[in-house]
């Protein structure tokens, strides 16, 4: 979904802004937590998550009264796909007397991670099973509409050699099977295609059939370029240029959450 506004990125912008105007509590060695936080942020943005984790963990130990290192540890855990650690550290940040922006950031992340609580677990193989799943996700659809969407999703995926369960996972995250969904950034339809992306694919994003075809085709193009499902999903969210530029999943909070979320749902649909 190249060019889409990265709303979740604002959660990390809060942390970066706070680092510029606020101070960590002084715990013995006054400069150490600041230095560690700066190192951790640079390592995170470079995609060196293991080293970033170590730096933020040391900062959290040096400044046990500060919520900020705990927030960053939660963000790194999300990027590493470790939901349990992410929930633990975001919850820990709320126990560290956070500022209002820090509290809002932690609570927003915990709401995002709440997706896992309701992760769908379905056996999807036949059109009838897809129809039941689609209707369970979007109760506003009639049985006939659910059947049509299920069958059309399978056909679109098969046309481009994509696992239909992957397309279903992407649509689940993007729109919850609401073909009228439009994001604040202008992404449209089931797969939330940006207008310029849809033009490049030659599809009308407001048309459910063409939107599903565009979604499957974009996934196919990304898989062919990057030969990796996580990278293909990152390119779907942030654009292939961003993945090439960073040499991997970009260090954008939304993109890292998006890859984790789609893979989380996809794993449930293959259960």
Catalytic residue among 62, 102, 147, 174: 174
DSSP string covering the chain, please?
Answer: -TT---TTHHHHHHHHHHHHH--PPP-SSTHHHHHHHHHHHHHHHTT-HHHHHHHHHHHHHH-TT-SHHHHHHHHHHHHTT-HHHHHHHHHHHHTS---HHHHHHHHHHHHHHGGGGG-------SHHHHHHHHHHH-TTS-HHHHHHHHHHHHHHHHHTT--HHHHHHHHHHHHTT-TT-B-TT--BTTTTB-HHHHHHHT--TTSHHHHHHHHHHHHHHHHHHH--HHHHHHHHHH-HHHHHHHTSS-S-HHHHHHHHHHHHHHHHHT-
Nearest in space to 251 (alpha carbons), one of 232, 240, 238, 262: 238
Assess whether 225 carries a catalytic annotation: no
Catalytic residues: 174
């Amino acid at each position: 979904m190249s060019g889409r506004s990265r709303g979740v990125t604002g959660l990390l912008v809060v942390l970066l802004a706070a680092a510029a105007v606020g101070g960590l509590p002084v715990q013995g060695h006054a400069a150490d937590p600041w230095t560690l936080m700066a190192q951790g942020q640079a390592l995170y943005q470079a995609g060196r998550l293991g080293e970033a984790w170590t730096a933020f963990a040391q900062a959290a130990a040096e400044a046990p009264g500060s919520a900020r290192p705990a927030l960053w540890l939660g963000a790194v855990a999300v990027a590493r796909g470790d939901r349990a650690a992410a929930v633990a550290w975001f919850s820990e940040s709320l126990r560290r007397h956070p500022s209002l922006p820090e509290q809002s950031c932690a609570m927003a992340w915990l709401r995002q991670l709440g997706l896992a609580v309701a992760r769908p677990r379905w056996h999807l193989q036949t059109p009838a099973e897809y129809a039941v799943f689609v209707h369970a996700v979007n109760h506003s659809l009639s049985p006939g509409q659910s059947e049509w969407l299920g069958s059309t999703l399978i056909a679109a995926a098969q046309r481009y050699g994509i696992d239909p369960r992957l397309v279903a996972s992407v649509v689940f995250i993007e729109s919850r099977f609401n073909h009228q969904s439009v994001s604040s950034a202008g992404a449209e339809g089931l797969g939330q295609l940006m207008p310029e992306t849809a033009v490049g694919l030659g599809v009308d994003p407001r048309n459910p059939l063409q939107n599903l075809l565009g979604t499957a085709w974009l996934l196919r193009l990304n898989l062919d370029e990057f030969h990796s499902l996580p990278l293909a999903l990152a390119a779907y969210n942030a654009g292939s240029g961003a993945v090439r530029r960073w040499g991997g999943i970009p260090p954008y909070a939304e993109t890292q959450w998006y890859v984790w979320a789609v893979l989380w749902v996809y794993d449930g649909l293959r259960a």
